[in-house]
Every structure is written in structure tokens, then in C-alpha cells.
Chains A and B, each alone.
Chain A
Amino acid sequence: AQKVTQAQTEISVVEKEDVTLDCVYETRDTTYYLFWYKQPPSGELVFLIRRNSFDEQNEISGRYSWNFQKSTSSFNFTITASQVVDSAVYFCALQTGANNLFFGTGTRLTVIP
């Protein structure tokens, strides 16, 4: 069975603080893809990153970084020096060999000015 767990339902931080959003996944497939999407208050879903199961290299994009660890089945997302514009719901998702994308329940991040 495939499953994505985002244990943090809501997080609040003060602007300029760093914050890490946790994502733990379950799958028996050896080939799979992990994604992070952002849903700002306006409601649309914005793609942030894609990682395949064979690439454990961490990635940094500006203030965003992602830590993929197969040993712990985790794909965590860190925002450095958070800004008010980072306030959104963030979804972690798992795509397996079938045409299906399993979403976590999301983490609502509020950045307080």
C-alpha cells in the first residue's frame, strides 16, 4: 500500500525563522517519484520539486531545500529565512508505477510578520 504522512498539520513561525516540513512515505515499489506542491491562499497548486527514488541527492533552490533519505523513507522540505509569502499549505506526494499520485494531508504554514 502507498501512503504519505505529513504529521504536522499546522506550523507557525515568525518571519526570518527557518522551518522544516516533514514528509514520510510508504511504498513497496523500488521505482517511485516524490513531489512537493504549494497551495497558497489563492487556492491553486504549484509544483515545487520532483525527485525519483534513485536520486538521493539533496537539492537547494534559493531559500528552499529538500532532504531525501530512503533509509527513513522521508522527503523533508526546509524553508530558510521564511517570508510572509511562504504562508501556504504544502503537500508532499508520492507517485508509484501506476498512474496515481498519493497526496499527504498537507501542512499549513503561517509566517507571522
Chain B
Amino acid sequence: NAGVTQTPKFRVLKTGQSMTLLCAQDMNHEYMYWYRQDPGMGLRLIHYSVGEGTTAKGEVPDGYNVSRLKKQNFLLGLESAAPSQTSVYFCASSYSPAYEQYFGPGTRLTVT
């Protein structure tokens, strides 16, 4: 039982490049989330999904897109990376919004 996994763990991009972060969970959770963590700001929700084929915007969605084609996977895309997107990205999943979220190990992204 791996829980929530994220790939890659680290990535360096140049401004304007694109990339996709992959999140996978093996707990059969309906709800999945993408957060970014910046120093002094806690975690902020980027996008979330309440089930396969659904996505919705969170607090800071600009510059990101997501897809949930399979229940176990939640992809976060950056179409044209900007230095302001330098951050640590966490994926999470939960059984329902009322229950705790299980977090992946994070992806440290640097955009130069």
C-alpha cells in the first residue's frame, strides 16, 4: 500500500517550458487535491477533483491545468512555467471532505 505518490521529486525548468506532475493514490479515494507550499504562506489549494472526470479550481488556479482521467491519478500541468511558480507542490487524497487528507511526499519545482 504505497498511499499517495508523486513524480518527479525534483525538477528545474526554464521560463516558458511546460511540464506535468503526476499524482497517484491506491486508496480508492474519490477526492484529490493539488496544493503549493511557499515559505510563510502555508499550503494553498490550486485545483481539486471530486471524482474521475471532474476538476474544479481552488484558491490559486492561474497558470495551472489539471486532469483526472482515471480515479487513481491526478495530473497537474504547467503550460508555460514562470519563476512565480517556483514552489513545493503537494498532492493529497481523501475519502471525503470531512475526513483527513493523505499527502504525497511533494515535488520541489524551480523555475529559472
Residues of A with Cβ closer than 8 Å to B? 4, 33, 35, 37, 43-45, 47, 50, 52, 91, 95, 97-101, 103-106
Q: Known interface pairs A52-B98, A95-B97. Does A104 touch B42 (Cβ–Cβ under 8 Å)?
A: yes
**Contact present for A50 and B99 (CB under 8 Å):** yes
Please measure, in the bound complex, the distance between the C-alpha atom of A50 and the C-alpha atom of B97, giving whole angstroms.
12
Would you give the shortest CB distance from B2 to chain A, in whole angstroms? 13
**Contact present for B48 and A99 (CB under 8 Å):** yes
Partner of B42, one of A35, A97, A100, A106: A106
Q: Known interface pairs A33-B98, A44-B105, A45-B103. Does A105 touch B40 (Cβ–Cβ under 8 Å)?
A: yes
* Binary contact track B34-48/A, C-beta < 8 Å → 1, others 0: 000000111111001
**Contact present for A99 and B42 (CB under 8 Å):** no
Q: Known interface pairs A100-B59, A104-B42. Does A45 touch B90 (Cβ–Cβ under 8 Å)?
A: yes
> On chain B, which size bracket covers the interface?
20 to 34
Q: Known interface pairs A43-B105, A43-B106, A44-B105. Does A91 touch B42 (Cβ–Cβ under 8 Å)?
A: yes
**Contact present for A99 and B50 (CB under 8 Å):** yes
Q: Known interface pairs A100-B45, A104-B42, A105-B42. Does A47 touch B100 (Cβ–Cβ under 8 Å)?
A: yes
Is B102 in contact with chain A by the CB < 8 A criterion? yes
Residues in A neighbouring B105, C-beta threshold 8 A: 43-44
Please measure, in the bound complex, the distance between the C-alpha atom of A50 and the C-alpha atom of B102, giving whole angstroms.
13
Could you list 17 examples of A-B contacts with CB < 8 Å? A33-B98, A35-B100, A37-B103, A45-B90, A45-B103, A50-B100, A91-B42, A95-B97, A95-B98, A99-B50, A100-B58, A101-B43, A101-B45, A101-B101, A103-B42, A103-B43, A105-B41
Residues in A neighbouring B74, C-beta threshold 8 A: none
Residues in A neighbouring B43, C-beta threshold 8 A: 45, 91, 101, 103
